[in-house]
Amino acid sequence: MKIKIKLYIDKETSTIEVEKGTALKQVLKERNPSIFNKFAGVVKDGNFMDFHSPINESGEFQLIPYNDKMSYSAYWHTTSHIMAQAIKRLYKVNLAIGPSIEEGFYYDMEKETPFSEEDLKKISEEMKKIIKSDLPIEYKEIKKKEAKKLFSDNKFKLELIDGIEDDFVSIYSQGEFTDLCRGPHLYSTGKVKDFKLLSVSGSYWRGDEKRESLQRIYGISYPDKKMLKDYIYRYEEAKKRDHRKLGKQLDLFNIYDEIGAGLVLWHPNGAIIREEMETFWKKEHLNRDYKIVRTPHIAKADLWKTSGHFDYYLENMYTFERDGEEYVVKPMNCPYHILIYKKQTRSYRDLPIKYAELGTVYRYERSGTLHGMLRVRGFTQDDAHIFCSEDQIEKEIGEVFDFAMEMIKTFGYKDFEIHLSVRDPRHKEKYAGSDREWEKAESALVSTLENRKIIYKRDEGEAVFYGPKIDIKIKDALGRSWQGPTIQFDFNIPHRFNATYIGEDGKEHMVYMVHRALFGSFERFVGGLIEHYNGNFPTWLAPTQVILLPITNEQIDFSKQVLKTLKDNDIRVTLDERNEKLSKKIRDAETKKIPYMFIIGNKEIESKKVSVRNHKDGDIGSFSIEDILSKIKEEIKKRR
């Protein structure tokens, strides 16, 4: 069967007739083989396809060059396979999975002895040989029975094959190496140019600590040396900014074995940052007519059965039994807020009603996925639920979106990506609600974004079970994306709890609900802030805003007078009374990343001034206490 496709190469357009099922590379090879030197694949309907993919329907295909971000998944995935092939040549291993990730790739494998730095060098050299050989990459679909024979000596691949619902699976081959894989990949191994293996870490099969222990090698690759060099700089800078390292250095938080994995203890310095954020959060919410509520940490299981969490979320919940009744440690705050809403009959005149809570929740995450403050088991959501009528939906979602943008800009984020998460149309059974409800919900979110001319990415299959959502991914100082505010439309839970209001017509109507979190979780947001600021918090957030550094013990009494003045003006200040050289005191204050240092000697006492050193700018001059206090208070007021 012949089908027609439109092929866009730069500004030229060609209409080509091809046999259905033909790989795109066959079509292009006949026309112009040099295309593969410039282009990594194509985009059809917004999705990247490699040249190996069969063409099964007509459509428009845009060729994508190697330096386009859309091609990176294929670039990194191919490099992952090259690395796995090199490792198989050098060592006895059992390969698990090797995907491309947000930046780069990794491969997990089972090996008796740990990889060393020397091993990484050997693997890199072997990879260069594979790249130089320019091995053609081949794609094939085979029956599951045949795949099981092919991977009969690999328990990980066999388990993956058993989990695939289709009768056929796809494999990619290059030289002697074949892997179970969905792609995408480059045309050949020689298309990979510059790469670097970054690190080795431990992992668990499928992120489950009860399963096999694996070794994971991370790597990165790019089409040219400059791009790789730029990445390596960001990578090394990111290591310096690691929130786990800075968290210890600045004494912000820790996770203790005695408490349990994924459970954060906020130390005094970290608790100050959190307290400042909470104070700011409460004020902004009260100004926007939110009502602050508080709810308990546990509830009877029946509540979660009514909400649907028992059906859709049980594997992530902590449950226990007491006095013959089953309880759940709360994973969400929504059901509690609905019960508060339902405590009395509501009129359309009451709407919208907005409940907000700094609610601590607990969710089971596999230990292999836990990561400092960024992925934890216990965390505090800055949660809110807006109950409104159908004609208020778009207005409320729009106001929440604008509120979210104001919040993240306050914390120094200037760049962001917007993702619209919708259900997987192929697996509607995984989601609660009717087609009509989902279409209505998605339409409300889309309108909010399009009315503001916001560019967004549509992510199929990323919606939560009770409704679609908008995710705002914030970009930090190194250009990395972090999960930020989320806005979820929920038509499901109000139905389950029969949450209604009396309309203008005197009849009962089902209320609509917008679920949103602006920080997401305090733990994850602060973890991201630590790395974004590299621990150099703006003055309003800094645990210690000023440190007083007397040059000798002679200035202690005057320093204590300054200390009292600053404390009386609500400045977080400390006095370094140690009998140490000034240079050491300054170094220690710099290590703690304290915004302001007041250096006090006999000259300062005589002039009733202080010499001021700023952590970012160094010495900034001599100031009277009144003038420098005014400057610092202005920074705090403007949240700088």
- CB < 8 Å & 24+ apart, contacts of 486-489: 486/516, 486/517, 486/520, 487/397, 487/400, 487/401, 487/404, 487/445, 487/514, 487/515, 487/516, 488/464, 488/514, 488/515, 488/516, 489/393, 489/397, 489/441, 489/442, 489/444, 489/445, 489/513, 489/514, 489/515
- Catalytic residue, chosen from 85, 215, 381, 545, is 381
The pLDDT of 78-98, averaged and rounded, is 97
- Catalytic residue, chosen from 81, 185, 216, 334, is 334
383 labelled catalytic = yes
pLDDT grade for 11, boundaries at 50, 70 and 90: low
363 labelled catalytic = yes
Tell me the per-residue pLDDT of 385-423, one tens digit each, with 9 for 90 and over.
999 998 898 899 999 999 999 999 999 999 999 999 988
pLDDT at 380: 97
Tell me the per-residue pLDDT of 511-520, one tens digit each, with 9 for 90 and over.
999 999 999 8
Amino acid identity of 630? S
Percent over 70 (pLDDT), the chain: 99
CB 235 within 8 A of CB 198: yes
- Catalytic residue, chosen from 52, 241, 330, 469, is 469
pLDDT at 30: 74
The pLDDT of 440-465, averaged and rounded, is 87
Q: What CA–CA distance (Å, rounded) separates 178 from 438?
A: 41
334 labelled catalytic = yes
Is residue 97 included in any domain, yes or no? yes
Our count of domains for the chain comes to 4
CB 594 within 8 A of CB 615: yes
The pLDDT of 204-209, averaged and rounded, is 86
pLDDT at 331: 95
Amino acid identity of 454? I
388 labelled catalytic = no
CB 461 within 8 A of CB 424: yes
Does 126 share its domain with 235?
yes
Tell me the per-residue pLDDT of 388-398, one tens digit each, with 9 for 90 and over.
998 898 899 99
Give the mean pLDDT of the chain. Answer: 92
Does 230 share its domain with 207?
yes
Does 203 share its domain with 164?
yes
- Examine the pLDDT at 466 and tell me if it is beyond 80: no
Is residue 157 included in any domain, yes or no? yes
- Catalytic residue, chosen from 108, 119, 382, 383, is 383
Cβ burial of 91 (10 Å; 0-12, 13-18, 19+) is middle
Tell me phi and psi for residue 131, to 5 degrees: -65, -45
The pLDDT of 432-444, averaged and rounded, is 81
Q: Which of 364, 404, 368 is nearest to 525 (CA)?
A: 404
Q: What CA–CA distance (Å, rounded) separates 388 from 346?
A: 11
Does 384 share its domain with 506?
yes
Give the CATH number, domain containing residue 210. 3.30.980.10
- Catalytic residue, chosen from 309, 366, 515, 613, is 515
Q: What CA–CA distance (Å, rounded) separates 180 from 140?
A: 10
pLDDT grade for 555, boundaries at 50, 70 and 90: very high
What's the Cα-to-Cα distance from 111 to each of 86, 114, 155, 197, 357, rounded to whole Å? Answer: 14, 7, 14, 18, 47
Is residue 309 included in any domain, yes or no? no
Q: Any idea which of 1-5, 7-11, 134-138, 609-613 has the lowest mean pLDDT?
A: 7-11
Give the CATH number, domain containing residue 556. 3.40.50.800
Give the CATH number, domain containing residue 410. 3.30.930.10
Mean pLDDT: which of 13-27, 32-46, 283-297, 431-445 is highest?
Answer: 283-297
Does 585 share its domain with 502?
no
Q: What residues form DSSP beta bridges with 65?
A: 39
Does 525 share its domain with 551?
no
Domain boundary among 533, 558, 591: 533
pLDDT at 10: 64
Does 494 share its domain with 605?
no
Does 389 share its domain with 362?
yes
Is residue 236 included in any domain, yes or no? yes
SS (H, E, C) 34-64: CHHHHEEEEEECCEEECCCCECCCCEEEEEE
Between β-strands 456-460 and 415-422, what pairing exists: parallel, antiparallel or unpaired? parallel
Mapped onto helix, strand or coil, the DSSP state of residue 176 is: coil
Does 174 share its domain with 50?
no
User: Rounded to two decimals, what is the model's pTM?
Assistant: 0.84
The pLDDT of 552-560, averaged and rounded, is 95
Domain boundary among 11, 40, 64: 64
pLDDT grade for 24, boundaries at 50, 70 and 90: confident
pLDDT at 8: 67
Q: Any idea which of 248-257, 286-295, 469-478, 581-590 has the lowest mean pLDDT?
A: 469-478
452 labelled catalytic = no
- Catalytic residue, chosen from 77, 81, 377, 385, is 385
Domain boundary among 473, 507, 533: 533
Is residue 306 included in any domain, yes or no? no
Does 522 share its domain with 454?
yes
The encoded tokens of residue 616 equal 């970012």
User: 609 Cβ partners below 8 Å, 6+ apart?
Assistant: 622, 623, 624, 625
CA 213 from centre of chain: 25
pLDDT grade for 59, boundaries at 50, 70 and 90: confident
- Examine the pLDDT at 15 and tell me if it is beyond 70: yes
- Examine the pLDDT at 546 and tell me if it is beyond 70: yes
Place of tokens 């889309």: 446
620 is in which domain, residue-wise? 546-637
The pLDDT of 191-197, averaged and rounded, is 95
Q: Which of 529, 535, 553 is nearest to 590 (CA)?
A: 535
Q: What CA–CA distance (Å, rounded) separates 245 from 375?
A: 16
Is residue 317 included in any domain, yes or no? no
Does 167 share its domain with 286?
no
Mapped onto helix, strand or coil, the DSSP state of residue 600 is: strand
385 labelled catalytic = yes
Is residue 146 included in any domain, yes or no? yes
Angle (CA) 357 482 591, round 5°: 95
The pLDDT of 540-550, averaged and rounded, is 98
Give the CATH number, domain containing residue 50. 3.10.20.90
Does 172 share its domain with 289?
no
Is residue 80 included in any domain, yes or no? yes
